[in-house]
Amino acid sequence: MKNNKRKSFLIKTLLSFVVLVVVIIAFNNFILPWFVSSPEEIVPNLVGKTYENAVAELDSVNLQAIITDTIYNEKYDVGTVILQKPNPGQVVKNGRRVYLFISGGKQTVKVPNLKGKSIREAKFTLERIGLNMGEIQDLPSNNPKDMIYDQQYAEGTPLKKGDSVGVTLTIGILSSRVILPDFIGKSLSEVIEILADSSLRVGTVTYRVSNSLLPNTIIDQFPSQGNVVSVGSQVDLFVTKNSEKEE
């Protein structure tokens, strides 16, 4: 019984040795020579180049581009390479993958709602997410004094960190004169509300066809921004419409 076990053990050991010898021979004679003799390439410097140009340059030297990640980086334009692995100048085998990290530009944040806040509250709200307080315009209004009545960008608008958001601040009611704010880019319904609150009236509304702006968007006004008018004055508005609508 013991002889049979010993014989079986010796056979298994011999077979394992034979397999190991075959693997070593195959590696030395086939795999290693193929690996050593395969063509080599020098990895080009791709940092600062657009992804498309980087891919084309890698293709020209038989290397493969792989996007690893997109990273927000204000020093590089959106879509350009900011980091690569392997590094430039490294010698690699033909067909090797080169991993690219692409710039997403400045990080964007959404504009918060500033209406109804004081300047101090609004400034804190903006700075907390990386935005700055922009131009502050004064507007006579029936609303409480020193309250933000309007903002340059609507709530939810994506902006790059570091951008500024202008606001319109109510200064109470002037005796008989009103400084016109900028209505361009606002909706007709929004401007009607602002005019009414400032004791002004909507004058002539002229519609113009636009395929690039939403319908009922203000594209011009008369009198223009900054003019001082009397309470009760009319403001003419030029508004967009769809091409299929009639005048």
Residue 129 one-letter amino acid: I
pLDDT for 69 equals 87
What's the confidence (pLDDT) of residue 239?
Answer: 96
Rounded CA-CA distance 11/73 in Å is 64
Q: Quick one: tokens of 39?
A: 């063509």
Consecutive H or E run containing 85:
strand 81-85
At 217-237, the pLDDT tens digits run 999 999 999 888 888 899 999
pLDDT at 123 over 90: yes
Q: If you average pLDDT over residues 27-31, what whole number do you get? A: 59
CATH of domain 38-105: 3.30.10.20
Q: What is the signed CA dihedral for 208, 212, 215, 221, rounded to 10 degrees?
A: -50
What pLDDT does residue 26 have?
62
Q: Model-level pTM?
A: 0.49
pLDDT > 90 in the chain, percent:
49
Cα–Cα distances in Å, from 67 out to 77, 89, 93?
16, 19, 19
Q: 120 falls in which pLDDT band (50, 70, 90)?
A: very high
Residue in the structure block whose two tokens are 């397999």: 19
Ordered by start, the domain boundaries in the chain are 1-36, 38-105, 108-241
Nearest to 97 by CA among 54, 126, 136: 54
Look at phi and psi of residue 130 and say left if phi exceeds 0, alpha if psi is from -120 to 50, else beta.
left
Largest CA distance in the chain: 120
Q: Could you name the CATH architecture of 108-241? A: 2-Layer Sandwich (3.30)
Statement: residue 27 has pLDDT above 90:
no
Dihedrals φ, ψ of 186, to 5°?
A: -90, 165
Question: What pLDDT does residue 48 have?
Answer: 92
CB proximity list for 220: less than 8 A, separation 6 or greater: 184, 237, 238
